[in-house]
Amino acid sequence: MALIEWKSEFSLGVPQVDTEHRELIDLINRLHQRVQLREHDTTMVDFLEELNASAAKHFAHEELMMQARGYTAYEEHHTDHQRLLNEVTAMMFEYQDGVMNNMEVMTERLYDWFCIHFKTHDAPLHRLVHSYIKL
């Protein structure tokens, strides 16, 4: 069972952004599935590195859109992007150092990482972008 199900509200209506959101959800779900099947090993770091790289690329794309539209909450949103990337990096180190023993907690953190960020930061941005698309 997927940890995060795709919802229509995750859609921005911009194909590249929507694809990036789906890719991030897919990575988190694949990691969750490996944890559920108890197949986590050193490849977990590879998953987290891939998630970090995909998220960084997505965040850069979103930030360019924000800047192009003069988004007033840019700094706050950018700061949260940095926090999220730092959190994934911290998870990688915690896993490598043996500090992260409960992989279910890691997947819960990733669920929160995506869903809370989306609700608090991406949803207002998406409303702004939708208003531009409809013009």
Q: Is residue 2 part of a domain?
A: no
Q: Examine the pLDDT at 82 and tell me if it is beyond 90.
A: yes
Asked if residue 69 belongs to a domain, the reply is yes
Q: Which of 59-73, 76-90, 113-127 has the lowest mean pLDDT?
A: 113-127
Are residues 110 and 26 in contact, defined by beta-carbon separation less than 8 angstroms?
no
Of the chain, the percentage scoring pLDDT greater than 70 comes to 88
Residue 80 falls within a domain, yes or no? yes
What pLDDT is attached to residue 101? 65
Domain that holds residue 123: 42-134
Asked whether residue 94 is domain-assigned, the answer is: yes
Residue 134 predicted with pLDDT over 50: no
| Domain contains 54 | yes
**Lowest mean pLDDT across 17-26, 29-38, 123-132:** 123-132
Asked, for residue 32, whether it belongs to a domain, the answer is: no
User: Alpha-carbon distance 55 to 67, whole Å?
Assistant: 18
If pLDDT is split at 50, 70 and 90, which confidence band does 81 have?
A: very high
As a dihedral over the C-alpha atoms of residue 21, residue 18, residue 120, residue 44, rounded to 10 degrees, the angle is: 0
DSSP labels, 80-110: HHHHHHHHHHHHHHHHHTT----HHHHHHHH
**Domains identified in the chain, total number:** 1
Residue 33 lies in a domain: no
Helices (H), the chain: 15-36, 43-68, 74-96, 103-117, 123-134
- CA–CA separation, 10 and 133 (whole Å): 16
* Of 134 and 131, more confident: 131
User: Residues 6, 47: contact at Cβ < 8 Å?
Assistant: no
Residue 76 lies in a domain: yes
